Amino acid sequence: MKEVNFHKPTGMNSLSIKFALLVFMLTVVASAAIAYAVLMLQQNVLIEQEKHELKRQSEKYARELDAGFLTREKKAISANNIVVRYLSKTTASSPALPTAQPDGSVRIQDDLSAAFIPQSKLDPQQTAWLVQSEELWQQLAPLMLEEFFNFYFISKQGLIRIAPADWALEVPVTHDFTKDIFFDIATPEQNPSRLPRWTPIYYDPIWQKWMTSLVIPVYAADEFLGVTGSDYILDELFLDLASIEQSSEGLRSMLFDPQGNLLLDGKKPVPLQNSGQQNFDARYSSVAPRKPELAAFIQQVTTNPTASELLQADLANYLVSAAKVQRLDWYLTLYQDKQVVVSGLQDFRDKVMLIFLAVAVVVALSLQFFIYQFILKRLTRLSSAVQRISRGDLQQITLDQNDDEIGMLNRAFNGMAEEIHQLISGLNTRIGEKEEAERATRKLTKAVAFSSSGILLTDKELHIEYVNPFMLELMGCTAEHMMQKPLSSLFAAEMFFVGEEISQTLKERHHWRGDMLLQHVLRKLWVSLAIAPIRDEKGDISNYVCAMQDISFIKESQRKMEQLAYYDMLTGLANRSYFRDQLRKAIAMSSRGYYHFALLYFDLDEFKRINDTLGHDAGDELLKEVARRLISRLREEDTIARLGGDEFAVILSGIKDRAHAALIAENLQQSFAAPVKLTGQEVAISASIGITIAPEDAADEELLLKHADLAMYEAKARGRNTYHFFSQDLNDAAKEKLQIENHLREAIREHQFVLYYQPKIDIRTNVVIGYEALLRWVRPDGSMIPPLRFIPVAESTGLIVEIGEWIIWEACRFISRQQSRGHDVTISINLSARQFTDQNLAEVVERVLQRTGARADKLIFEITESMLMGDTDAAIAQLNELKGLGVTLSIDDFGTGYSSLSYLKRFPVDELKIDRSFVKDIPADTNDMDIVAAIIAMAQKMNLRVVAEGVETIEQIEFLKNNACYLVQGYYFSMPRAEQDLYNLSYQPLLIGAAEL
């Protein structure tokens, strides 16, 4: 038969071309939409990032400006204090005056400064200041001019001393300083609180500069003498702002005040108008920002200064962020042009569009090629084959004659259907079925052979009959090693019980699925195994097919996740999460009556010291060694955990009684007895252990942890390197401490504290020379809380610092009241350890002395030896600061703590107080008498005053007098009294015991 000719559709008659064009158009549209969305999202993200960066930078630079102005304020205040002291000490004299100038002024000049005053206003005091202030300015001017443009003093009579000298040499004699802003702002009428103040920006016609001044009033003996001023010119601030703009391309900056006046505008200086007004009233006049929208932003910020959300804005053309400069109440603003921000996206936008267009072309061409090659071409060939088979049949079948692929398929299908009805027989049908089965078999064989899963075929007894190549590669062996072997021979030894479960499950349900660990020689891997039956024509199982997927990576990931989730990375011990899970399980087991268990909670003594001295690496090595020792001393069934830092916990299951737990605790402490070698040094370690028993002490997770923690802190309180069992007393003590802490906060808030005063007597004259201030706490119901109950709680919580400051205030007010009544007495105040280490202590004392008017030499601070023997250098520095204020320093309870004579001679103390424990047994205890005599003799050799406290008998008085200790206090003379009861005491010789003396 001749070959049947056919033609394929071309041009727009081809469905492949139509479909390709449609896909191309859809791809282009979708690509454009996606590209637009991506670019808009990228632009929004970029803008948000820039807004965040602008906010961060503006806040950063505002803080830097604030810090700079604060530093200048501190320096100016220090200089003001020096000037106040200098003027207070300067006495009126009649030194030789320089010659008056023709204009009626007196002007003098040196290499650093100059002074000016109208001759008409000279008096002896002004003359002394005019001449003698030169030396002071020689010392202060170099320091102040590092931070300021000018530094000057102006008296209320019109005297000015200024550095540099130009201003005083050029100011007219008719100039009235009282009308200047930098003088008027500090007068008592304008500044009754006497605080430092920054002036608004004004124009200085002499220096021809715009500036602001920090003005501080000068008072001596509560009299206003004048002001000290330090000028800061706007040009320096402009340089700082210009440097900010150089840090980032396109970044611009502005500075404006709360009234909306634009002070500085980045690299574009604000045009300033000179003023000829001599009284410095030329205030700064603002100019408009570069863009109207920036002006609107400034108005928005200044109109709502408390709305922090208005400090950042996304304007039409700019991103803006402002931050407040707190010291001068200005606003620093950074802004960025949006076009600069998004300019980098232009090239990216073009590239994205080109890429998407190219992708659309490639996709369309690829679709057209694959549609024709794998669909249309095959259909056309099938049609021609059917036409060849049907050749010779005169009967024509009328089909649609459309010139597309579907039309050709219709013609071929109709021809094949007609031929099948006439020629195909049952034999041909069987042949076709056989061929189809062979094709399916070949496809299945190829699918199995080239599958990315391991495939095994077994007989119904699970003996391997076929292994695909991927399975051989997975196991790393040849087919000969696996053929006719049981499937279970591939399983790892530890999965033997799973193999038995598989056999049982297949008998019952004929299917099995699960995870399995395979092993061949030394190679192990986890797989996901699925076993399914193959049935014959009768429905009986003839074979099994086993499919395996390698999941070793998943299993390893799970193992690592469990390691991260439940174990400490440093020590390998259980972490807090796993420990609490195990604790809950132990509680559940004990609540069901299976066993009792003990919870041990401990941390290492002095671990922080080791960490600080030897470094964190050494600390980590120490923690690892502790973990190794714990593991070596405890059982496998015990849970050992590191809770964090140097805190460890152990759950001891099956504990019989407390003695059993104590034995294990002693065993653990013995394991710590051997020193640890760290960085070449042997370090001794120990641990404080708290123990609680469950369910005897508690059956709740949080309570058990709390009880163990309380027991551990009790062990630390008992000297460390020991263990302690929880008891109800510890719980009660913790509750009482919490209750006292809450009441203490209430007492501070509601002023429930009062001071009692115990007189200090000179036994040579029986005159009251001073008092010791003792804190008392009176509850609203009238009950009084003993200091021994609340002072330790105040110390541990830090409340003692606030209470201690209140005591200083009250004691200084007490001194002032006594001085006003003509009583020249001292007051002693006990400083706590927390209060003594407070860096602001000296500042607080100085402020209290200034505010109350109390004399510093009448204030005595009592400090215990233990407070001084920690960081001795810091203690000496703190003592020197206090000593510099003029107060007296006393060592309280001398002899009861750690005494070091080498340190004692370095401490700037004035007084030793002999503790009552040495005095109370005199004269019965000769050892106490010898100790007291030795302390008195030592103090006299060191020129220290000695005070004996706790004096209660005439014999003690006689002994102290014979040993030249004349200052005493105690119940022999008076117990501590409230201030109103002190008026019953005479400031003349006391009657109590006086007759016996």
Per-residue pLDDT tens over the stretch 312-322: 777 777 888 88
Range of the domain at 713: 571-726
Q: 152 vs 36, 137, 173, 212, 448, CA distance in Å? A: 65, 9, 17, 14, 98
CB 77 within 8 A of CB 113: no
The total of other beta-carbon atoms located within 10 Å of residue 250's CB is 14
The band of 669, judged by pLDDT with boundaries at 50, 70 and 90, is: confident
Q: Looking at 742-844, which runs of residues are DSSP E strands?
A: 753-762, 767-778, 784-785, 826-830
Considering only CA atoms, which of 262, 275, 144, 163 is closest in space to residue 210?
275
**Average of per-residue pLDDT across 348-371:** 72
Neighbours of 139 (CB within 10 A): 12
Signed CA dihedral, 32, 33, 37, 40: sign only: positive
Q: What is the pLDDT of residues 518-547, one digit of tens each?
A: 887 767 788 888 888 988 888 888 888 888
pLDDT tens per residue across span 167-190: 888 888 888 888 888 888 889 998
Instruction: Give pLDDT tens digits for 496-507.
Output: 777 778 888 888
Same domain, 928 and 962: yes
Same domain, 963 and 827: yes
- What is the DSSP code (8-state) at residue 486? B
**Could you check whether the bond before residue 923 is cis, i.e. omega within 30 degrees of 0?**
yes
> What's the pLDDT at 731?
58
Residue 623 is predicted with a pLDDT of 84
- Specify the pLDDT at position 253: 80
Given 557, 587, 615, the domain boundary residue is 557
CA distance 945 to 185: 49
Task: Please indicate, yes or no, whether residues 481 and 596 belong to a single structural domain of this protein.
Answer: no
* 314 or 64, which is more confident: 64
Instruction: Give the CATH number for residue 594.
Output: 3.30.70.270
Are 827 and 922 part of one and the same domain? yes
Question: E-assigned strands of 616-766?
Answer: 639-644, 647-653, 676-678, 681-683, 687-694, 723-725, 753-762
The reply to whether 507 and 580 lie within a common domain is no
H-run or E-run covering 86: helix 15-89
Query: Same structural domain for residues 655 and 547?
Result: no
Percent of the chain scored above 70 by pLDDT? 80
Which residues, other chains included, contact 997 with Cβ-Cβ below 8 Å and sequence gap of 6+?
763, 766, 954, 957
Are both 712 and 584 inside the same structural domain?
yes
- Residues of the chain above pLDDT 90, percent: 6
Which is higher by pLDDT, 984 or 947? Answer: 947
Retrieve residue 920's tokens. 């109370």
Q: Is the pLDDT of residue 884 over 60?
A: yes
Q: How far apart are CA 774 and CA 971, in angstroms?
A: 14
631 and 715 together in one domain: yes
Structure tokens at 488: 């279970």
In a domain, 228, yes or no: no
Please indicate, yes or no, if residue 140 is contained in any of the structural domains: no
| Same domain (yes/no): 860, 965 | yes
Averaged pLDDT for residues 45-61 = 81
The answer to the question of residue 330 being in a domain is yes
SS3 content of the chain, % helix, strand, coil (to 5): 50, 20, 30
The predicted-structure confidence for 268-327, as pLDDT tens digits, reads as follows 444 444 444 444 555 555 556 767 777 778 878 888 877 777 777 777 778 888 888 887
| CATH code of 443's domain | 3.30.450.20
Q: Do 911 and 764 reside in the same domain of the chain?
A: yes
Residue 875 has pLDDT above 60, yes or no: yes
* Residue 200 to residue 208: CA distance in whole angstroms: 16
Q: Domain total for the chain? A: 4
Which CATH number goes with the domain that contains 922?
Answer: 3.20.20.450
pLDDT at 19: 67
Q: What is the pLDDT of residues 28-41, one digit of tens each?
A: 777 777 777 777 77
pTM (predicted TM-score): 0.39
Helix, coil or strand: residue 907: coil
Give 762-774 pLDDT, tens digit per residue.
999 989 999 998 8
pLDDT band at 992 (very low <50, low <70, confident <90, very high): very low
Handedness of CA 84, 88, 89, 93 (dihedral sign): positive
Say whether pLDDT at 199 is over 70.
Answer: yes
Looking at residue 896, its amino acid is T
Judge if 594 and 712 occupy the same domain. yes
Provide the pairing of β-strand 512-520 with 523-535: antiparallel
Q: What is the pLDDT of residue 270?
A: 47
Instruction: Let me know if residue 99 belongs to a domain.
Output: no
Which pLDDT belongs to residue 403?
66
Whether 393 maps to a domain, the answer reads no
The pLDDT value recorded for residue 744 is 76
* Structural domain contains residue 312: yes
CATH number where 312 lies? 3.30.450
Q: What is the pLDDT of residue 550?
A: 82
Domain end point (choices 726, 747, 766): 726
| Domain assignment of residue 885, yes or no | yes
Q: d(Cα 523, Cα 474) in Å, to the nearest integer?
A: 10
Determine the Cα–Cα distance for residues 576 and 228; give it in Å rounded to an integer.
61
Residue 372 resides in a domain: no
Secondary structure element (H or E) that encloses residue 664, with its range: helix 658-671
Residue pair 153/227 in contact by the 8 Å Cβ criterion: yes
Q: Are residues 712 and 854 in the same domain?
A: no
